[in-house]
Structure formats: structure tokens, C-alpha cells
Structure 1
Amino acid sequence: MTMDPPGVPVARAFSAIFGWTCFVAWSISFWPQVILNFRRKGVEGLSLDFLSYKVVGFTCYSIYTLAFSASEVVQDQYRARNNGASNLVAPNDVVFAVHAWVLTIITWKATHSLSVLCKVVILAAMGSIATYLIAMVVKPSIEELDLMNFLGSWKLGMSLIIYLPQMFMNYRNKSTVGWSIHNIILDATGGTLSLVQLFLDAWIAWRITDGPLEGWVSRALSGNGTKLTMCSTARRGGSNSGAGRERRVKWGSRPERKIANIKCPSLKLVIEFKRSLSA
């Protein structure tokens, strides 16, 4: 029986802990928005374009993780191209992807109309995937693994633009009413822990560049994107109170001026977060 190199068992244990912790944080992060919509009996302040990009992204990501986890054909093709090494998709990745897709669909069905740009992006995604499927039939050299990587690329593309519609709506409304700050904090926590897990897995495998590129970049963008939205939430001072208790705080009012005078951005966020909880 081959012994693991020193440090590997400990790294594996921490990888599992970080993996399931980020899975819990990410999975829970979808619920505050659903609960907030239910309490407010509406979705005003929530961008449908943002949700639509999430639906496309998590549809691709769910298929991607399911294939890497359950398809022996895809697994064999991956090992053949990576010197016999297995992929780094974990069971919690699959559960998270499917769970996120279901909750996003539930939230998406309750919202309003799409922008023209979003419709174009969705049609482009559907058309390109359909074209790729036809190409697989015409050209047998294109394998199932190539299709999964193509779907992963679309997930990456959605991650690049997913937060832009919501941040634009927050800026236009000068408010984050209808947008759950708890979602953002949990999402950022999950993104950070997931990156740590991926670093550990790559260190264990001794090949940091052989892991799925789409998973790596999507997780990194998730963490950075939510940080940008957290800054937007802290600066605009949106309230996430329940139905019947909505209020919109104007920038320049006395409470906002007090927060603006604080030089530490993290402290400003903590103060704003506490105020949103007590609202």
C-alpha cells in the first residue's frame, strides 16, 4: 500500500471541510433572495437579466458537473488527455450546481421582462450549443469532453457579465431595495472557501494547471463580483426590510453622511449591514 506524502492527509481533510463549508454557504445564499421576494410579495429592485444569466450559467454548469461526476465516457476522455489524472469535480460541486439551478428557476419565474441585450445573449448561447451538437454528429472527432468544456466556457462567459445588470439597476435606482445583502455575504464566503479548496486540491495533485479552467475562473469571478456588489450595497445604503416596511434612504441624509465620513470601507459595510438587520 502506497503511503501519502507528508501533509497530504491533512490537506485532504481541510479540502473536504472547505468544500462542504463553501457548499453550505453557497447553497444557503440562494434562499435569502427567495424569502425576501416572498415577504415583499414582489421582485421590484431585482434584475431579471441577472437571474437569466444565472439560469443559463447554472444550466451549463449542472450538465458540466454531472458529466464529470457520473459519465465514464467523459472521465475516460479527461484521463486520456491529462496523463491518467482524474478531474477535480467533487460531489458537493454537483449538488450545489443542481440546487442553485432549481432555486434560480424558482426566482426567475416570478420576475418581469428581459432586456433586448439579454435576449440576444440567451439566443446566442442556445444557438451556439445547438450548432456544437450538430458539429459533433457531423465530425466524430469532437468528443463529449469537448462539449462539456464548451458548456463550461458558457458558464465562464455568464460569470463575466452576471453581476453587471444588477449593479446597473442598483445605480439607476440609487437603492438596493429588493436585493438581499445576505445573498452577497454568503456568496462571497463560498467563493473564497472554494478557491482555497481548489488550491489545496491542485497542491495535492501536484499539477495546478490541470484542473478544470472553467471551475477555477468562475469561482474567482464569483468572489470578486460579489465584493463589487457588496461595495455598491454599502455605499447606496439600500434597505432589505420586509413587505409594508420598505424605505429608501437618500444619499446625503444624516445617517449616510456619518457613514461617508468613516475611512475604513469594511467598517462602513459592517455598520450598513447592522442597520439593514435592525430596519
Structure 2
Amino acid sequence: MGDYFLLEILSGIVGWMYFVLWSLTFYPQASLNWSKKSVAGFSIDFAILNVSGYMFYSLFNWGGYIYSGLGTGIVQTNDLFFSVHGLLLASAHLSQVFIYKRGHQKHFKRWSLITLAILWGCVSLVFLLEGIILQYHPSHSFLGISKIPIDLNTLRMAGYGKAVITFLKYCPQIYLNWRRKSTEGYSIMNVLCDFSGGVLSLFQLVIDMIFNGLTKGEWSLLGSNTSAFNFIKFLLGIITIIFNIIFIIQHYLLYPSKRNDPLTLELISSTDRRMVK
């Protein structure tokens, strides 16, 4: 048991390290927006998607932590704090969108608003369906009823919503960087912390699976209420790593000379004014 205890301690250390790194990703961008009194270079669609994403993730984590065995997999304390902290800071980013100058970004893109409407509609529909079945079949546990596949209960749907948003929210920023041929206005420190946090998040997930397998003999990955594998956390880690690699390539390889050159910045500013919504 001594070796197993060390695994548990290591999981906690890695988990809080990822919490710190992923939490730090919010501050450079907020500081950059504040110092410039502008969100030019920062995708406003990223901002609005991120708020709903962390609402979904908070629901997934807190629901899975309180009602264990509902298909969420292992939810650690650091996961809980990160989701709430992320929601607060994502909301701060969104508030900056309404306060500061936006450059060429006058309005939220229609696709991002439609995406949010669809995701919220799906989660709400499953929630209502579970509530209706609970009313007529009280023996079924709320948020984990057997009449609905575990992959389609409210918590898992919220988790899928977060994964979809995590995938989509990076796309406008990648496109914006490509269109402007610059990463000016988007904090590279954000990217580096985000990438490192994604790696550590996956590392904690692996440690938790090994610990659970050694102590409980449970090695199941998917498909059961009792599976310790947090599939949503796995998806988020993979998506985060892939997209941040793209950002790193854009920043250091594709547009390295365009970050601080005065003439380039003036051209970027002119491009911002000309670009259509």
C-alpha cells in the first residue's frame, strides 16, 4: 500500500500543478486586454464560447463529484476548483469584450451563437427527460437513470458540450491569427501555460487510472457507471494540446517577425479596420 499511497500523492501534486498552470492562462490575456484597453487580436467568439464551456464543465465536475458513479469517471478536488475558477475568469474576459474596443470584431459570429443554442438545448432536453422519468419512476436515481444510456445522461451531455466548445473556441483564434498574419494581441504565455496544463492533466488521468486499477482492480475505460476513466477530461487534454501546438507554430515559426515590428503592427491595425465581420 505504500507504493499506492505515493501514487495518490503524486496525482494530487500533478493535479494542483495543472490547476495552477491552466488557471494562469486566463491572466495574461486579461492583463493584455486591460493594458491596451482593447480586445483587438483576441477573438470575441472565443470569449463567449468559453463562458458556456466552463458552465458545462462546472456542472459535469460538481455533479460527478457529488453523485459518483454516473459515468463521469474520477473527479478530483482540483478539477472542481479549476472549473469554477475558469468560469469566473472566462466571465471576466467576456466583460472586457463589452467594455473595450473590439477592432474589426463588431459582433459575435452567427455560428457561435447557433452552436451555443444547440448545445444548451441538448443539455436542457436530457435534463428535462431525466426529470420526467424520475417523476414516473422514482426508483431511478436522478442524473443517472438506467433508462438513458450512461453516455447520454445530463452530466455526460454537459461534458460533451464542454469538449465541443473547447474544440470550437480555438478555431476563431487560429483563423484570426492566420488572417492577420500575426499573433499580436494574443498572449503566448497563455498558450504555453495552456499546453503545459493539458499535458499535466493527462498525466494525472493516467496516474488515477493506474491507482484505481491497482487498488480496486477496475481497469474499465468506457461504458459503465463505475468506470474510473474520466473520458471528458481526456478529450479536453488532447484537444488543448493539439490546438496549442498550432498556436506555438503560428507564433514562433509562421509569424515570428511580425510580432513587434512597428510597420507590421500598423498594417495589422489597418487590416483590422478593413476586415468584414
TM class, shorter-length: 0.7 to 0.9
- Alpha carbons 1:56, 1:122 under 8 Å: kept: yes
Structure 1 stretches lacking a partner, 5+ long: 251-279
- Alpha carbons 1:19, 1:197 under 8 Å: kept: yes
User: Please, which of 236, 242, 251 is the counterpart of residue 224 of structure 1?
Assistant: 242
Structure 2 stretches lacking a partner, 5+ long: 98-105, 135-139, 145-152, 214-218, 222-226, 268-277
1:25 alignment partner in structure 2: 21
**How far off is 1:143 after superposition?**
3.6
**How far off is 1:27 after superposition?**
0.7
1:93 alignment partner in structure 2: 79
1:214 alignment partner in structure 2: 232
1:48 is the counterpart of 2:44: yes
Give the total of aligned pairs: 234
1:16 alignment partner in structure 2: 12
Query: Structure 2 matches for 1:170-185, cutoff 5 A?
Result: 170-185=177-192
Q: 2: distance between equivalents of 1:240 and 1:144?
A: 51
Q: 1: distance between equivalents of 2:83 and 2:64?
A: 13
- Alpha carbons 2:29, 2:186 under 8 Å: kept: yes
Q: 2: distance between equivalents of 1:21 and 1:51?
A: 24
TM-score (norm 2): 0.77
CA RMSD between the two structures: 2.4
User: Please, which of 255, 260, 273 is the counterpart of residue 236 of structure 1?
Assistant: 255
1:272 alignment partner in structure 2: none
1:144 alignment partner in structure 2: 143
Q: 2: distance between equivalents of 1:133 and 1:195?
A: 29
Q: 2: distance between equivalents of 1:160 and 1:152?
A: 13
Cα 1:208–1:48, aligned 2, differ >3 Å: closer, same or farther?
A: farther
User: Please, which of 63, 66, 80 is the counterpart of residue 62 of structure 2?
Assistant: 66
Q: 2: distance between equivalents of 1:142 and 1:208?
A: 22
Give the match's secondary structure for 1:36. Answer: helix
Cα 1:15–1:249, aligned 2, differ >3 Å: closer, same or farther?
A: farther
**How far off is 1:17 after superposition?**
1.2
1:118 alignment partner in structure 2: 112
TM-score (norm 1): 0.77
1:132 is the counterpart of 2:150: no
Query: Structure 2 matches for 1:200-279, cutoff 5 A?
Result: 200-206=207-213, 207=219, 209=221, 210=227, 211-234=229-252, 235-237=254-256, 239=259, 248=265
Q: 2: distance between equivalents of 1:9 and 1:94?
A: 22
- Alpha carbons 2:131, 2:142 under 8 Å: kept: no
